[in-house]
Amino acid sequence: MKPEEVLIIANGIKKESIPLSREIEAYLDSVNIKHSTLMTMSTSDDVIIPYSTDLVISLGGDGTVLYVARKVHDLGLPILPVNLGTFGYITEVGKDEWKEAFERYVEKGDNLSRRLMLKVSVTRNKKKIFSSYALNEATISSSGISKVVKLELDLDNTYAGLFKADGIIVATPTGSTGYSLAAGGPILMSDISAFIITPICPFTLSNRPLVTGSETYCTIKVSEGQRTEVVLSVDGQSSIALMEGDEVNIEKSRSKALLILSHKRNYIEVIRDKLNWSGEMHA
């Protein structure tokens, strides 16, 4: 379906943003599609999405599309994530491929991927003090360096245990190739409906990553007697300091991120190339 109005959200720090946004604007003019462009300098920038927008083009890297996904979450808008460097795990559309991916979406619509997102909130003294959405992960950890925190995990109101670790990551399948992977978590196919709960450097070796169904309601409580400050980070971009007794509640969001992908490569090809699954040694 041909969009009537497109919003371009570009990472203004990357020098390629301006010439590429102008190239896209010229193309949209040629096919009679209304458009506007927003240049952002930080993932904390507060952007206003015009009500008439029906497609967003993200110019930057994976960080930019994570930012855009949270901003358009409630609007259900498809996102064309264009990478201004080499293709990323999420932004697999190269800067020379955007037009082909866009036209494929308009003509066939078979390159749209629906990605699970997390709904994250913090309750303090029975009052909700923070809420956000995440496409990759929510992380509860020490705000210091190499400090062990104590976190109590409940799954569907069943106590799952006390974790002494550098923190806990709750990731989506999209986020399985990010921080969770670096902490020893598994890679999930992007269309699986599941969460990954990954302890970060646990004190007890029996604390292993856990994959749960996406209908699971996850609560992580900050235990009493912490020896360091504790922080919640959402997609590595939005954060809040936590206090002892705070509860971080994580569940599946009702809406999904709608990502327009390249038809030139699939998810397996992306992770194969990014992780160098060639059978050879890599320094």
Tokens 């956000």 — which residue?
Answer: 132
Section 251-275 average pLDDT: 88
Residues 32 and 129 in one domain: no
Q: What are phi and psi of 227, to 5 degrees?
A: -105, 10
Note the pLDDT of residue 86. Answer: 66
Residues 160 and 195 in one domain: yes
Return the exposure string of 194-229: e unless at least 16 CB atoms fall within 10 Å of the residue's CB, then b: bbbbbbbebeeeebebbbbeeebebbbbbbeebeee
Question: Residues 191, 184: contact at Cβ < 8 Å?
Answer: no
> Residue 228 is part of a domain; what is its CATH number?
2.60.200.30
Please say if the pLDDT value at position 168 is more than 70: yes
**Helices 98-107 & 17-30, crossing angle to 10 degrees?**
40
Question: Residues 78, 260: contact at Cβ < 8 Å?
Answer: yes
CA distance 94 to 109: 19
Residues 109 and 42 in one domain: yes
Residues 12 and 77 in one domain: yes
Over residues 193-209, the pLDDT tens digits come to 999 999 999 988 888 99
Q: What are phi and psi of 120, to 5 degrees?
A: -120, 130
Q: What residues act catalytically?
A: 62
3-state secondary structure of 184: coil
Q: Where are the beta strands (DSSP E) in the chain?
A: 5-11, 34-40, 55-60, 78-83, 93-94, 112-115, 118-124, 127-134, 137-142, 149-155, 158-165, 167-171, 194-200, 210-213, 218-222, 230-234, 238-242, 247-252, 257-260
Residues 93 and 65 in one domain: yes
Residue 158 lies in a domain: yes
Residues 223 and 131 in one domain: yes
What is the extent of the structural domain holding 192? 118-252
Residue 281 lies in a domain: no
Section 248-270 average pLDDT: 90
Count of domains forming the chain? 2
Please say if the pLDDT value at position 124 is more than 70: yes
Residues 133 and 217 in one domain: yes
Residue 283 lies in a domain: no
Residue 280 lies in a domain: no
Instruction: Give the dihedral sign, CA 83/93/78/236.
Output: negative
Q: What are phi and psi of 29, to 5 degrees?
A: -60, -40
Please say if the pLDDT value at position 144 is more than 80: no
> Residue 71 is part of a domain; what is its CATH number?
3.40.50.10330
Note the pLDDT of residue 44. Answer: 81
Please say if the pLDDT value at position 270 is more than 90: no
Tokens 């209908």 — which residue?
Answer: 215
3-state secondary structure of 115: strand
Instruction: Give the dihedral sign, CA 44/45/48/49.
Output: negative
Residues 147 and 179 in one domain: yes
Residues 245 and 122 in one domain: yes
Residue 211 lies in a domain: yes
Note the pLDDT of residue 282. Answer: 55
Residue 282 lies in a domain: no
User: Which among 35, 29, 26, 67 has a CA at the least distance from the CA of 54?
Assistant: 35
Residue 279 lies in a domain: no
Residues 36 and 10 in one domain: yes
Residues 28 and 57 in one domain: yes
Please indicate whether residue 42 or residue 7 has the higher confidence score (pLDDT).
7
Residues 78 and 162 in one domain: no
Q: Which residues have a Cβ under 8 Å from the Cβ of 250 and sit 6 or more positions away? A: 118, 119, 120, 138, 170, 195, 217, 218, 219, 220
Residue 49 lies in a domain: yes
Instruction: Give me the amino acid identity at 232.
Output: L
Mean pLDDT rounded to a whole number for the chain: 93
